[in-house]
Amino acid sequence: MENASINEKNKHMSKEYSVDIDKAVKEKPGNTKLPSTEAELKDLAALETGDYKYSVEDYFRTPEAFSFQLSPDGKYIAYMKRRKTGERDLYLIETATQKETLLKKQEEDLIRGFYWKNNKRILYLQDKGGDENYHVYGVDINGQNDNDLTPFDGVRAIIIAVLKEDEEHVIVQMNKDNPGQEEPYRLNINTGEVTKLYTVNEGDAPVAAYNFDREGNLRAITRVIDGVNTELLYKVEEEFRTVNITEFGDSFSISSFNVNTGNPDEAYVVSNLEGDKSEIQLYNLKENKKVRTVFSNDTFDVSGISLSRKRDYEIDYFKYTGEKAVIVPVSETYKKIYARLKKEFGDKQFFTVGKTDDETQYMVLVTSDKIIGEYYLYDVQKDEVKLLYKLLPQLKSEDMASMTPISFKSRDGLDLHGYITLPKNYKSGNKVPLIVNPHGGPQGIRDNWGFNPEAQLFASRGYATLHVNFRVSGGYGKEFLKAGFGEIGRKAMDDVEDGVDYVIEQGWVDKDRVAIYGGSHGGYAVLRGMTKTPEKYACGVDYVGVSNLNTFMETIPPYWEKYREILYKIWYNPNIPEEKAIMDEISPALNVEKIKKPLFVVQGANDPRVNIDEADQIVKSLRKRGVEVSYMVKYDEGHGFGKEENRLDLYKAMMGFFAEHLKDEKLEKVKEKVS
């Protein structure tokens, strides 16, 4: 690193201050000698030689327009729009005139998200190269006053309360004063002034969550105590009092203070303390007692609730995920809206994803396993449904493959659920190659039914895709969640293998041509699978995955530190000799001699969750042993690839890798031509 210190004047929000800047040529993270060359990766991609109707670009280029959001008054729609070169800019369109205006141009870093604060100002988030230290920016709809509202280096800012009743402020949480502890601030969206609303003092239990009411009053906090348990405290007469203490895996959390019962101490909460499944309750926090259960389901966890601000926070609908997403209309108003949209869209999945403040216009997203997304506007007064935009319209639904829910038993008797996507041209009796795709997380995350561009790309090339919701996945109750604690890489991995065995037994796939691919925890599952049952897989693709549990736990970001004991509970505790031995046993980087099949490793250099050393370790060790490893590193990405050019490079190389190791030209010519 070569440094030359300079001093310059910097202006922020009309205030000038002096700042010292180190002018530096920044060293690239990781071992820069390890990644495959650009030429090597292009050669890998070139191994995919089939003649297909749809290209990788058709599935993974950025949509021409996406992320549509109605302004509160309905006069504008904000959205992201793709440039011809792949960058994505923030645009406005005036609904009355259809006049389109560029609001914010993407420069080096992506706009990670945005939302309307009021009719005149939009807030958006950006980080640096995928480091996840988000800054909150604000811009007026005329393009003026485009400012970084949280200009603090190395600080992660997240909006936690939008304050619809206060047009000038939001609540953000930042780890500004302590890298390991987020604290709440009231942020003025025009001036950038921040006011701290709660301080976690040294020695206090760390705080995991803050709950504010619609006026911006801090009403409750959730602390982590004893490392793994959580304590909910509710403010009564300016004093925080304990409501309950729950062990990890049990849940009791405030969903909304916006109830229309007239009692300010009542809130909607999500709780599984009375049974296995999470349900929505009306709860009196001051008296610490349940008023009533407002919605539950015997089979799946429930957490989604939507309220009408216009109609005094009447409940419009509940939502939960079973085999597919389920909407349960409640209010008479929403029942009529839902029935009208059901008449329009039939058996397709649809969701109201936005609305004007007067609730006369709704943004509707229509999707299915064969439709990535179609945006519509529903005008309630005119009773008119109008198509706004189809995402990736080049992908015709009639050419897409079906995602089918499956259920089976684990080897130790658990009921497991997942999805199989077979190629569109699949014929009964054919045995096609399989890509099993374990999800990330792992705790509390699950795979869902719907359009999956990876599965569709794989299907178009003749591969089946298997998704398994293994133990520790979310949505199936706390016993299923807890069954995975201390079983990552062991019984949770058994569940993935049992899913593979199940689809082989159905006669759908060729047992000799099974690949494993996944990201984050899914990347770990790839490496673990290739060391645990190396004979099961023909090859693997590890995407930002953990390779060594010991080094992974030594490099977690500072804002995860308060969850360290929880991390140990989900995975393993290196301070307990028996668990440390398990960690060593199931860490792929420490067992590379068991990996016999080809591996493709993919990593974002700035990943704050899974350090690049995790990828470097496995690549270096395998190459020493003569195992084939292609290694792609993107130095402007973090935990996953956000930029279009990087995504395209990834999937082109991946498809070449699978073509080399999964296709058997002697047995079949796997080619799809959809007419």
Size of the chain, expressed as the number of residues it contains: 675
Long-range contacts: 499-503, Cβ < 8 Å, 24+?
A: 499/406, 499/408, 499/416, 499/418, 499/436, 499/466, 499/468, 499/470, 500/434, 500/436, 500/466, 500/536, 502/406, 502/408, 503/406, 503/420, 503/434, 503/464, 503/466
Please give the structure tokens belonging to residue 450: 């719907």
From CA 544, how far away is CA 631, in angstroms rounded?
Answer: 11
Q: Which segments within 127-203 are labelled E, that is strand?
A: 135-140, 147-148, 157-161, 169-174, 183-188, 194-196
- For 62-67, what is the mean pLDDT? 94
- Whether the CB-CB separation of 249 and 271 falls below 8 Å is answered with no
Q: Specify the 3-state DSSP secondary structure of 573.
A: coil
pLDDT digits (tens, 9 = 90+) for 413-446: 999 999 999 999 999 999 999 999 999 999 999 9
Please give the structure tokens belonging to residue 471: 């133990």
Please give the structure tokens belonging to residue 372: 């990535």
Average pLDDT, the chain: 93
Closest CA to 356 of 373, 374, 378: 378
- For 381-399, what is the mean pLDDT? 97
Domains detected in the chain: 404-662 (3.40.50.1820)
Predicted local confidence at residue 555, as pLDDT? 93
Predicted local confidence at residue 663, as pLDDT? 85
298 pLDDT higher than 70: yes
From CA 55, how far away is CA 70, in angstroms rounded?
Answer: 33
DSSP of 609-642: SS-HHHHHHHHHHHHHTT--EEEEEETT-BSB--
667 pLDDT higher than 80: no
pLDDT digits (tens, 9 = 90+) for 331-387: 999 999 999 999 999 989 999 999 999 999 999 999 999 999 999 999 999 999 999
Predicted local confidence at residue 1, as pLDDT? 30
Closest CA to 177 of 155, 210, 161, 203: 155
Query: 57 phi and psi, to 5 degrees?
Result: -60, -35
617 pLDDT higher than 60: yes
pLDDT digits (tens, 9 = 90+) for 624-649: 998 889 999 999 999 999 999 999 99
Q: To which residue do tokens 């039914």 refer?
A: 449
Closest CA to 284 of 266, 263, 308: 266
Predicted local confidence at residue 9, as pLDDT? 38
Predicted local confidence at residue 26, as pLDDT? 66
pLDDT band at 180 (very low <50, low <70, confident <90, very high): very high
Helix-, strand-, coil-residue percentages of the chain, each rounded to 5: 20, 35, 45
- Does the pTM surpass 0.95? The reply is no
- Whether the CB-CB separation of 436 and 514 falls below 8 Å is answered with yes
Predicted local confidence at residue 4, as pLDDT? 35
86 pLDDT higher than 90: no
Predicted local confidence at residue 116, as pLDDT? 97
pLDDT digits (tens, 9 = 90+) for 534-555: 999 999 999 999 999 999 999 9
558 pLDDT higher than 70: yes
Lowest mean pLDDT among 33-37, 250-254, 306-310, 555-559: 555-559
Predicted local confidence at residue 559, as pLDDT? 87
Predicted local confidence at residue 653, as pLDDT? 98
Whether the bond into 442 is cis, omega within 30 of 0:
yes
Kindly state the percentage of the chain with pLDDT values over 70: 94
525 pLDDT higher than 80: yes
